[in-house]
Structure 1
């Protein structure tokens, strides 16, 4: 068993972390958004959906 006492955490822990993140943000690269390619429904085979899930999906509004 160790007798070491852990140093007390900084009172400004969260504020300090937010400041560190704000300083580093300009260095982070934002990747370009990849848009998934749509697949024609006729090409999708072998997928089964439970009846309850199918009813839920049927009730949802279609969005492009």
Structure 2
């Protein structure tokens, strides 16, 4: 039993050591569902619509 407790303490100490070495900038808040989480993805549909509008005249020319 004492080996189990000692192993847990060693594992916890190792985990705290690794987490402290990473600079402490670890986000443990889980999934984000706010406005901030969707800000980078907001520019993706605008960029994706430009090639689609450029391909539309080529598709209509091919059907003629």
TM above 0.5, yes or no, is: no
Q: Which has the higher contact order (CA 8 A, sep 6+)?
A: 2
Larger fraction in helix:
2
Query: What is the TM-score when the length of structure 2 is the normalising length?
Result: 0.26
Q: TM-score, normalised by structure 1?
A: 0.26
